[in-house]
Each structure stands twice: as C-alpha cells, then as structure tokens.
Chain A
C-alpha cells in the first residue's frame, strides 16, 4: 500500500506486531536478568536490546522500506561507536601485558 507520493504506508497490524515483539523483549530482558548465567547475562541482554532497537529502526523508522543510503547512514553511526569502544578498550584491557611495564 502506498500513499499518493509513492511512499510505503505500513499496515497497522505490522505496527502492532512490532509493538508486541518489543513488549515481549522487555519482559524477557527483565526475566533473564533474574538468573545468574555469568557472562551469558550480558550477551543475552545486549542481544535483546539490539533486537529491539533493530525493530524500531526497521519498522517504526521505516528503514525497511528506505533507500540504501539510509541503511548506510544509520549503520555507520553504530559502527563508529564500535570503533570508539574497541580501540579504547584495547588500551585498558592490555595494560600490564608486557611484564615489567606498568602499562
């Protein structure tokens, strides 16, 4: 279904399904946190958060039906954060690896 200028109009049912999925994700996140799964806790919670964010981006923000440029722009922001995180943590996590140096 398209509006008169050709842009995709999503059906209400789709929005409601996404909403439902987001609710399920929220409940799941809280439930998972109650159990001590060690490192898996973090992995699961971040995965659920990423999945929820992806649903919002794709469907509420219409990227699913957008141009490839929009995909690239949206993706680049998150990718650039990863660069900040990874390279900075590479410093902190490797401190003291070389014996005899404080750093």
Chain B
C-alpha cells in the first residue's frame, strides 16, 4: 500500500464470530411479520421491551428534572418553615384535594385503557377509556386555571404585583415562586400528556391496538402515571403545610 502502513495481518483467530449463515431468519423478507415490527428488532417482544425500557429511562430524566425544583423547595422550606406554613394556608385545600382525586381517577382510567388494549377490546372501548382519561386531565387543568386566576386576583404572583399581608412576606414570595414553578411545570406536562393521549386515541380508533401490539398505549400510560405521581407529592408539600394552623 502506498501510504506507509505496515502490512496488517488479515487472518484473525479462527471461528470466533460466525457472521455468515448463522441462524438469522430475517433475510429477504420471506417470512410474515407484524406490520408494526421495525426491522432493526428481531421480534415484537424485543421491540416492546425496548420501548418500555426507553420510556422508563426517560421518566428517570423527568424525576431528576422535577427534582431540581424539589431541591429548591427543600432548602427554602428548611430555612423558613413558619413562613412556608403561613403562605401555604392561602392555598385552597379543597381544590387541591379534588385535583388529587381527579388525577387518581384518570390514572385508573388510563390503566383500564392499557388493559383494554391488552385484552383486544373493541376500538370503542379502548377509545372510551382514553377519552375518560383525557376528560379528567382536562378537568385537572380547568381547576388549576381557576386556582391561578384566584392567585392573580389576590396579588400572590411573585414580582412587582406581589403583596403579602402576613408575617413572612419574603418567605411567602419564595413559596409562591416555587408554587408557580412546580405546578406550572407539572401543568405543562399535563398539557403534553393530553396531546399524547389525543394521538393514542386516534391510533386506537383506527384499530391499531390489540393483544399483539399495544406498546404505544402502555408507554403513554407510563408517562401519564408519572405525571400523576408528581402531583401526589406536590399536593401535600404545597397545600398541607400550615393546614393544622387553621385554614383561612
């Protein structure tokens, strides 16, 4: 060769890897396979496992993403426990509890939606459960909107219009900064979740899911349940701190 390389030995060790002729049935497309099987996978089972593992890995990133906000919360609550309790009193526990229940119901309907796909239920049944999930998700967002509007009215949005009449104004402004950041980020995830559910519902309506292939429903379900879990922690941490001091 002309570029100054020494002649490399071309013979490797014998028989380490058999590249040709080793039992791969996927050459030449001579066999039938599920229309949804992507060709870099060997079979539907591998594809399904990879997809659910992928969504779980993504959810770990979401845990760490929200985790930064929980860290800020942890620090500031540690520094001003009374201030946070006082600020938390102004949140409406009833709305918060209703929202918690709404999301738990939506998780139930989501689990039922996945199950209906798993058991090859008719498309209408699948879409029904998915639609129910979306209705409860939208209800959650509606209640959130009501709460946010109330905060705007009562000058509880941090910034130039923030006005606090209690004992700990600085801690209160911090609390509400975290309240809006955390519930805002959560609401954004709910909105994205509704978008995902819309797509899944359309796919379900088109009869794409049955016991052989329901991975998108399962994966969407994992996402939805995760968003529910974040709220399960947000509710007591934001709404129930100063509750025993007497609701306003």
Q: Which residues of A contact B (CB under 8 A)?
A: 3-7, 9-10, 12, 15-16, 18-19, 22-23, 26, 29-30, 33-37, 41, 45-46, 48-49, 52-53, 56-57, 59-62, 66-67, 69-70, 73-74, 76-78, 80-81, 84-85, 88-89, 92-93
Contact = CB atoms under 8 A, between A and B. Distances in A.
B11 interface: no
Contacts of B60: 73-74, 76-77, 80
Contacts of B221: 60-61
A26 B104 contact: yes
A4 B233 CA distance: 36
Interface of B: 44-45, 48-49, 52-53, 56-57, 59-60, 63-64, 67-68, 70-71, 74-75, 78-79, 93, 97, 100-101, 104-105, 107-108, 110-112, 115, 118-120, 211-212, 218, 221-222, 225-226, 228-229, 232-233, 235-236, 240, 243-245
Contacts of B120: 3
Nearest to A16: B108
A15 B115 contact: yes
10 contacts: A4-B211, A26-B235, A35-B244, A49-B233, A49-B236, A52-B229, A61-B221, A80-B60, A81-B64, A84-B67
Residues of B contacting A: mostly: helix
Contacts of A29: 235-236, 240
Nearest to B79: A92
Contact of B75 (A34, A69, A89): A89
Contact of B107 (A30, A33, A35, A56): A56
Contact of B118 (A3, A57, A69, A73): A3
A89 B233 contact: no
Contacts, number: 133
Contact of A34 (B104, B107, B226, B244): B244
Contact of B71 (A48, A62, A84): A84
Nearest to B119: A9
Nearest to B93: A30
Contact of B67 (A19, A36, A53, A81): A81
Contacts of A61: 221-222, 225-226
A33 B243 contact: yes
B229 A15 contact: no
B132 to A, nearest CB: 13
Given A33-B236, A69-B53, A76-B60, 18 more contacts: A3-B119, A4-B211, A6-B45, A15-B111, A15-B115, A23-B104, A26-B104, A29-B236, A45-B236, A53-B229, A53-B232, A56-B107, A57-B229, A60-B111, A61-B221, A78-B63, A81-B64, A85-B70
